[in-house]
Chain A
Amino acid sequence: MAAKQLKCRECATEYPLEARYVCSRCFGPLEVKYEHEPIADVGSVRRRIQAGPQNIWRYHDFLPLEGPQPQTRTGLPAGCTPLIRADRLAERLGLGEVWVKNDAHNPTHSFKDRVVSVAATRARELGFDTLACASTGNLANSVAAHGAALGMDSYVLIPADLEEQKQLATAIYGTNLVKVRGNYDDVNRLCTELSGDRENWAFVNINMRPYYAEGSKTVAFEIAEQLGWEIPDRCVVPIASGSLYTKIAKGFEEWIGVGLLEGAVPVMNGAQALGCSPVASAFEQGKDVCRPVKPDTIAKSLAIGNPADGPYALDLARASGGSIDAVTDQEIREGIRLLAETTGIFTETAGGVTTAVLAKLAARGDIGEDERVVLVITGDGLKTLDAVRDSFSAVDVEPNIDSFEAAFAARGVRV
């Protein structure tokens, strides 16, 4: 495989490709380092990718796995989600060209299946038989489902106040669902402590985090491939820990590096909910670290008050000429509705955040008319039904035509 070592992002110390996530010298995060052979024939590599399976394993050469390409008819293959041209959304916002990367089309209806597929496959390679995670909900669904698909035990720790839909869609897979009386950051702290003492558990976003995070690069690979091997001008991506946001940029960067793509990393816009916006606040204040906050937002899947990749997200926003913006809960609800009404895509609250930030950037005049913009939608609206409850009313009628017509007449509408 092209992956060679784990390398500390802070002090560059290198480690073997094992279940390790933090540098023992400086506590910095470890990242997978690759040594790719230069690609002599770009066309043939592109054709090989295109002939690959309809899931993330088509990008196997760029993922940190030792074995051959994983069996694609077993497990829970993720990825190859639609990239939809959203002309009605663009028109509504006065923009030229907007595309929606709809990652709700994954096996458990969020982008988390990409990262869990990579982490779980690597965990098996390293000999683990148990998966675990700290989750704001989408990860919970995915870890429980991957555990079931791969025949691995799983322990899923969530904040006790998580949306009911996300709890049900986790427990059904037969996992050990643990509701922690606290917020996500409390859950994460507990899991970090647990992971130190349970060395036979693969916590996908703790001791497997370097591998897990690499799965997010496949969002960038797919966008480029779906755009005909081109890089968009701008991506709007939600930020919770900052891992997806930074790894999408890394995906483009790696493919530019090996010659599969030409151009530069897109302008990267990060999206947060105002009720949990440590990265947006630090961006606005010109700081390079985030001050932790106590989340209070309907966007629970983004409610990480102490984001692990916050510093790197800030670096990326500034280096790419982007920004990190925050929107209110009301704007999030409007964002969900805007996307639904203009594209037919019903997204969860995180997608409402992302869509609302796109609207904000458009209103602010940050986006040029000729720009090709990709909006990354990370999860399905059925996961957060409470966010849209009571936001519309149905027309109640008796089963006869008179009642039907009277009901609409009462609303002043002829049908």
Chain B
Amino acid sequence: MAITVKLPTQLRDLAGGAASVEAEGDTVGEALESVFAKHGELRDRLYEKSGALRRFVNVYVGGEDIRTLDDLDTPVSAGAQLTILPAVAGG
């Protein structure tokens, strides 16, 4: 079973309007790479030129922020759900 990546409204235009896309991989980084393979423009929105996640992008695995886990190396298993959200909210 594939991994599901939920996209925020701000990014859906770059994935043909879809609210979520399917991904493959053993880590968050690999899963996102598989998404970029189909929707290339997403890479620039999510990553700095250095390849690090932009500081105002949050990625969650099963509701946990990957920055509290192993960042892009956080393992994911089949059936997992990744959620991408803008960081600047709340408070």
Point out residues on A near B: beta carbons under 8 Å: 10, 21-22, 24-29, 134, 182, 184-186, 188-189, 191-193, 195-197, 203, 205-206, 209, 240-243, 289, 291-294, 304, 306-309, 311
Contacts and interface: CB of A to CB of B under 8 A. Distances in A.
A184 B85 CA distance: 16
B79 interface: no
Nearest to A242: B91
Contacts of A241: 90-91
A413 B83 CA distance: 64
A229 to B, nearest CB: 30
Contacts of A134: 89-90
B34 to A, nearest CB: 21
B68 A294 contact: yes
Given A289-B55, A292-B67, 5 more contacts: A189-B60, A189-B63, A206-B89, A308-B88, A309-B91
Contact of A191 (B65, B88, B90): B90
B90 A28 contact: no
A193 B11 CA distance: 13
B89 to A, nearest CB: 5
Contacts of B65: 185, 292, 306
Nearest to A243: B91
Given A191-B90, A243-B91, A22 B56 contact: yes
B45 interface: yes
Given A186-B63, A291-B67, A306-B65, A191 B56 contact: no
Given A26-B45, A308-B91, A193 B85 contact: yes
B38 interface: no
Interface of B: 6, 8-10, 45-46, 54-58, 60, 63, 65, 67-68, 83, 85-91
A196 B8 contact: yes
4 A-B pairs with least C-beta separation: A241-B91, A188-B90, A29-B88, A196-B9
A308 B89 contact: yes
Contacts of B58: 189, 306
A21 B67 CA distance: 22
A307 B68 CA distance: 13
A26 B11 CA distance: 11
Nearest to B86: A22
Given A185-B65, A292-B68, A28 B91 contact: no
A27 B10 contact: yes
A311 B55 contact: yes
Contacts of B67: 291-292, 306
A25 B86 contact: no
Given A185-B65, A292-B68, A306-B65, A25 B88 contact: no
B5 to A, nearest CB: 13
Given A196-B8, A292-B67, A294-B68, A28 B89 contact: no
B91 A189 contact: no
B9 to A, nearest CB: 4
A206 B90 contact: yes
B55 A308 contact: no
Contacts of B8: 192-193, 196
Contact of B87 (A205, A294, A308): A308
A304 to B, nearest CB: 6
B45 A192 contact: no
Nearest to B68: A292
B51 to A, nearest CB: 15
A21 B54 contact: no
A27 B44 CA distance: 11
Contacts of A243: 91
B43 to A, nearest CB: 13
A6 B21 CA distance: 30
Contact of A308 (B9, B45, B90): B90
A22 B45 CA distance: 12
A192 B56 contact: no
Given A27-B10, A29-B56, A21 B87 contact: no
Nearest to A203: B89
A288 to B, nearest CB: 9
Contact of B10 (A24, A188, A206, A307): A24
20 contacts: A22-B10, A26-B45, A27-B56, A27-B87, A29-B88, A134-B90, A182-B63, A192-B8, A192-B86, A195-B89, A196-B9, A196-B10, A206-B90, A241-B91, A242-B91, A243-B91, A291-B68, A294-B68, A306-B65, A308-B88
Given A22-B56, A24-B10, A25-B45, A205 B89 contact: yes
